[in-house]
Amino acid sequence: MRTEQEHEVLRGLLGAWALQACLPEEGAELERHLADCPDCAEEGERLRRAAARLRADDPLDQPDGLRQQVLDFCLTRRAADRPLAPWAAPYAAETAKLDALLRDLGPAEWQEVAELPWHGGVPRRRPAEVLCHLAAVDGLLAQALGLPDPVPDGAPRVPAQGGDRAEPADPFRELLDRTDRLTRAQAGATPAAVRALWRAQTQAVLREIGPAAAEAPVDYGFARFAVRDAFIDRAFETWIHGDDVARAVDYPYAVPAPPHLRQMVDLAARMLPGALAGRRRHAYTGPAPSAGAARTLRLVIEGPANGEWLIPLDGPPPTGTVRADEATADEGTRDEAMRDPVAELVIDGVEFCQLAAAHRDPAHLPVGEYGDREAIRELLAAVPLLSRP
């Protein structure tokens, strides 16, 4: 005869038993009890029937583009009183896409190692570490919007011995430091917890932005971005690193929607004059820019994100990169801006972005080139310099 206490203990096991989730010896003991105890036998049978109805809620792949389709449909039925800024839309879409990929990752896939190439090397990180990296850099944007920084404070920097470090400071040191600190702080956390931390911050920044924040500065350490550009930059990084993770676990990963891709291309095009100048300073190659002889190159982007940009090759002019197609509204401006580019480079938008992420070899890219080959080589070599660790 069993005591009341033993009965309660075995009864407590019924749910696990119905799901075949207890140890064999526990199951055997419970089944002996069921033979003598009609109450438990009845409940056990009932729970078992319920458990048998469970189906794997296999997360059905959402068709690409359904998110945008649904949101557009909603917004035509009722316009948003507080619309999302167009420059924040790529970030909203890319973070959602990455989150959907993460939802599908099993325990073994969280242990895979992704390669994250940039022009200075190929760091290898597990998916949770990739998320720490993304969250650490997103944290700069969060701070600019008045949100808390997820990255714990680091130890005060020890000045180099004698203070006579000859080599120039690594421009990306701040980003790497932040990534390391957050990765260390989250080392003991489950992948689900790291995913939640990353995701909560992405949602918080999207909640926080208003039109007023567009021009506020975000300090990346090596450069400053306006908030509107920082959002596009973060969307770009989220896409590229999401793609890195997807490659490591062998999942398909869609490219950004055309209007989003176009904003990413535009940001890269605007940053190119700086990258060209940096390359020239480092390598002492190419002619020094001479006043009055500023060359430009016409960048023609093909594919869904198609458009044209005029890239100054000899240092940023006062006006910076001109979006050629934007100038079409004013024929006069257009004629002036389009005058005499020394070369034209035709490239697919996705390939251009992959090159800007140093995920392609500039020497082996299918491109169309017309005019000054040297100028084109120069530009193609500079594009990957936009990449960061």
Partner 1 sequence: MTAPDWDQQMRSRLARGEESALGELYDQLAPLVHGLAWRILGDEAAAAQLTREVFGHLWEHPEEFDPELRSLRSWVGELTRRHAVERLRRADLGEAEIDDRTADAQVQYVVAALPLPLRETLETTWLDGRTYQETARRLGISEQATKQRLRLGLQLLASALDSGS
In degrees, rounded to 5, the angle at the alpha carbon of residue 92 between the alpha carbons of residues 175 and 179 is: 15
- Return the residues of window 80-99 that contact partner 1 according to CB under 8 A: 80-84, 88, 92, 96, 99
Whose CA is closest to 268, among 333, 338, 358? 358
Report the DSSP pairing between strands 217-219 and 224-226: antiparallel
Q: Does 28 bind partner 1 (CB under 8 A)?
A: no
| Of 213 and 271, CB closest to partner 1 | 213
How many CA atoms lie within 13 Å of 226's alpha carbon, on the beta-carbon side? 12
Region near partner 1 per CB under 8 A, out of 42-50, 117-125, 328-336, 341-349:
42-50
Residue 331 to residues 298, 324, 326, 327, 344: CA-CA distances in angstroms? Answer: 17, 11, 11, 7, 20
Q: Which two tokens stand for residue 373?
A: 């080959």
Q: Does 73 bind partner 1 (CB under 8 A)?
A: yes
Q: Does 364 bind partner 1 (CB under 8 A)?
A: no
Determine which residue in the list 1, 3, 25, 53 makes contact with partner 1, applying CB under 8 A.
53
Three-class HEC string of 175-198: HHHHHHHHHHHCCCCCHHHHHHHH
Q: Does 67 bind partner 1 (CB under 8 A)?
A: yes
Query: H helices within 284-359, ranges in order?
Result: 331-337, 349-356
Determine which residue in the list 7, 29, 41, 51 makes contact with partner 1, applying CB under 8 A.
51
| Of 86 and 368, CB closest to partner 1 | 86
Determine which residue in the list 35, 56, 212, 363 makes contact with partner 1, applying CB under 8 A.
56
Beta bridge partners of 311: 297
Residue 357 to residues 119, 207, 287, 387: CA-CA distances in angstroms? Answer: 8, 28, 26, 5
| Of 69 and 285, CB closest to partner 1 | 69
Determine which residue in the list 29, 203, 226, 253 makes contact with partner 1, applying CB under 8 A.
203
Smallest gap, in angstroms, from Cβ of residue 13 to partner 1? 6
Smallest gap, in angstroms, from Cβ of residue 59 to partner 1? 5
Q: Does 50 bind partner 1 (CB under 8 A)?
A: yes
| Of 99 and 351, CB closest to partner 1 | 99
| Of 177 and 208, CB closest to partner 1 | 208
Q: Which residues of 160-182 are buried (b: 16+ CB within 10 A; e: fewer)?
A: eeeeeeeeeeeebebbbbbbbbb
| Of 92 and 268, CB closest to partner 1 | 92
Smallest gap, in angstroms, from Cβ of residue 6 to partner 1? 15
Question: Helix, strand, or coil here: 54?
Answer: coil
Q: What's the CA gap between 69 and 206, in Å, rounded?
A: 20
Q: Does 189 bind partner 1 (CB under 8 A)?
A: no
Q: Does 130 bind partner 1 (CB under 8 A)?
A: no
Q: Answer for the pair 263, 301: CB distance below 8 angstroms, yes or no.
A: no
Smallest gap, in angstroms, from Cβ of residue 123 to partner 1? 28
Q: Does 19 bind partner 1 (CB under 8 A)?
A: yes
Other beta carbons within 10 Å of 49: 10
Other beta carbons within 10 Å of 124: 12
Determine which residue in the list 15, 117, 278, 316 makes contact with partner 1, applying CB under 8 A.
15
Residues that bind partner 1 (CB under 8 A): 12-16, 18-23, 46-47, 49-51, 53-57, 59-60, 62-63, 66-67, 69-71, 73-75, 77-84, 88, 92, 96, 99-100, 103, 106-107, 190, 203, 206-207, 209
